[in-house]
Amino acid sequence: MLYNDGEFWLGDGTVILVAGTIEFRVYKGLLAAYSPVLKDLFARKHPVRDVPLGDGHDIPCPVVRVSDSPDDLRHLLRVCIAGRMRSLYDAREPSFHEISACIRLGEKYQIAELVSQSLHVLRRHFPSDFDVWYKQPSWMPPNWDDVQVLGVVNLARLTGESSLLPAAFIACIWAGSAVVHGLVREDGSRETLSPDDLAVCFDATSRIHEATVGVILRTFHPTPCKECATRKVCRTALRDALLSLEGHVRVLTNGDPFMPQAQFLPEGHVLGVCAQCASMVRERKWKERRGVWGKLPELLGIEVPGWIQPILELPPSPPKGEEAA
Find the CATH number of the domain harbouring 39.
Answer: 3.30.710.10
Q: What is the structure's pLDDT at 325? A: 35
Establish if 313 belongs to a structural domain. no
pLDDT tens-digit map of 277-294: 999 999 999 999 999 999
Segment 218-223 mean pLDDT: 93
Based on the domain organization, do 131 and 214 belong to the same domain? no
Lowest mean pLDDT among 180-184, 198-202, 280-284, 319-323: 319-323
Q: Which of 105, 139, 173 is the last residue of a domain?
A: 139
Q: What pTM value is reported for the model?
A: 0.88
| HEC letters along the chain | CCEEEEEEECCCCCEEEEECCEEEEECHHHHHHHCHHHHHHHCCCCCEEEEECCCCCEEEEEEEEECCCHHHHHHHHHHHHHCCHHHCCCCCCCCHHHHHHHHHHHHHCCCHHHHHHHHHHHHHHCCCCHHHHHCCCCCCCCCCCHHHHHHHHHHHHHHCCHHHHHHHHHHHHHHCCHHHHCEECCCCCEECCCHHHHHHHHHHHHHHHHHHHHHHHHHCCCCCCCCCCCHHHHHHHHHHHHHHHHHHHHHHCCCCCCCCHHHCCCCCCCCCCCHHHHHHHHHHHHHHHHHHHHCHHHHHCCCCCCCCCCCCCCCCCCCCCCCCC
Please give the pLDDT value at position 56: 74
pLDDT tens digit sequence for 82-125: 877 777 787 788 999 999 999 999 999 999 999 999 999 999 99
226-253: pLDDT as tens digits = 999 999 999 999 999 888 887 777 777 7
Q: Distances in Å between the alpha carbon of 306 and those of 115, 128, 169, 200? A: 22, 10, 17, 20
Distance between CA 308 and CA 65 in Å, rounded? 47
Residue at which a domain ends, from 91, 117, 139: 139
Q: Residues with Cβ < 8 Å from 213, sequence gap 6 or more?
A: 252, 253
Phi then psi for 257, rounded to 5 degrees? -70, -5
Predicted pLDDT at 265: 66
User: Can you tell me the mean pLDDT for 268-282?
Assistant: 85
25 inside domain: yes
What pLDDT, in 10s, does the model give residues 120-147? Answer: 999 999 999 999 999 998 889 999 999 9
How confident is the prediction for the chain on average, in pLDDT? 89
Q: What is the C-alpha to C-alpha distance for residues 141 and 125, in angstroms, rounded to an integer?
A: 6
Going by C-beta distance under 8 Å and a sequence separation of 6 or more, which residues neighbour residue 183?
Answer: 145, 147, 148, 150, 151, 190, 191, 192
Residues 122 and 239 in one domain: no
Query: What is the structure's pLDDT at 324?
Result: 35
In terms of domains, do 135 and 7 share one?
A: yes
Residue 70 lies in a domain: yes
Domain count, the chain: 2
Which residue in 110, 114, 68, 67 sits closest to 94, CA to CA?
114
The domain boundary residue, chosen from 106, 121, 139 = 139
- Whether residue 34 is found in the same domain as residue 134: yes
Residue 259 has pLDDT above 90, yes or no: no
Q: For residue 166, tell me if it sits in a domain.
A: no
pLDDT in tens, 37-90: 999 999 999 999 999 887 778 899 999 999 999 999 999 999 998 877 777 787
Comparing 152 with 212, the larger pLDDT belongs to 152
Percent of the chain surpassing pLDDT 70: 92
Same domain (yes/no): 8, 133? yes
Percent of the chain with pLDDT over 90: 74
**pLDDT confidence of residue 321:** 44
Q: Do 104 and 226 reside in the same domain of the chain? A: no
Give the separation between CA 12 and CA 27, rounded to whole angstroms. 8
* 142 close to 285: Cβ distance less than 8 angstroms: no
Among residues 35, 31, 22, which one has the least CA distance to residue 68?
22
- Domain assignment of residue 196, yes or no: no
Give me the half-sphere count of Cα atoms (radius 13 Å) on the Cβ side of residue 91. Answer: 2
Crossing angle of the two packed helices 231-243 and 275-294, in degrees rounded to 10? 50
Q: Are residues 14 and 122 in the same domain?
A: yes
* Domain identity same for 27 and 128: yes
Whether residue 151 is predicted with pLDDT greater than 90 in this model: the reply is yes
Nearby residues of 256 by Cβ (< 8 Å), 6 or more positions away: 174, 212
- Full domain range(s) for residue 220: 208-300
- Looking at residue 92, its pLDDT comes to 83
Instruction: Identify whether 114 is part of a domain.
Output: yes
Task: Please report whether residue 153 resides in a domain.
Answer: no
Looking at residue 267, what is its pLDDT?
A: 54
Please give the residue that has the higher pLDDT: either 246 or 321. 246
Nearest to 296 by CA among 137, 149, 129: 129
Give the per-residue pLDDT at 254. Answer: 75
